[in-house]
Amino acid sequence: MPKLLAVPNIEKFAHLIREQRRICQPVEEEEVKVIRKSEDNMSREFEKAARRLENARLVLRRFPNIEKLRSRASKDDPIELRSPVTKEELVAEVARQLSISIEPENLHLPSPLSAFGEYEVPMRLPKAIPLPEGKVQWTLNVKVRGK
């Protein structure tokens, strides 16, 4: 205590304790590593996303077009949607339901989906991603059903 190597734990000596801790304890610096995105890492991420898209089914719920529903000739006629499903809506639903971000250019949808049913939407992915066995191209399984 005479050399202030130890002091009683009272408020009077609290500033000395704080000063000693500040001097003696080194400040830890957080080391941040920057991981550069290489072509190899990007192709692996594309491949993982493509595999998840291949095994997943996207389910969209839409309202039917009531005027067309009443005027159907038979039960086998497809039920038309009130508003067709566009490419941008598909991209947004993939991001929301499957947590995968794709670009609208990756989907090949010549015309919007305008009726209930199940569809296979072709996808355009880089050729570096190997196709699954028995497949000619990548497809996204989409099911459009009523609310």
Query: Which residue in the block uniquely carries the two structure tokens 């192709």?
Result: 43
- Closest CA relative to residue 144, chosen from 119, 125, 122: 119
Strand 57-62 relative to strand 139-146: parallel, antiparallel, unpaired? parallel
- What CATH class has 44-146? alpha beta
105 secondary structure, DSSP code: G
Q: Along the 147 residues of the chain, how does pLDDT read in single tens digits?
A: 566 667 777 777 788 778 877 887 766 677 777 766 676 777 777 778 878 877 888 888 888 776 665 566 566 667 777 788 888 988 898 888 888 888 888 888 888 888 888 888 888 877 777 777 777 778 888 888 877
Determine the Cα–Cα distance for residues 58 and 98; give it in Å rounded to an integer: 8
Its pTM stands at: 0.60
What is the residue extent of each domain of the chain? 44-146
The tokens for 76 are: 């086998």
CB 140 within 8 A of CB 125: no
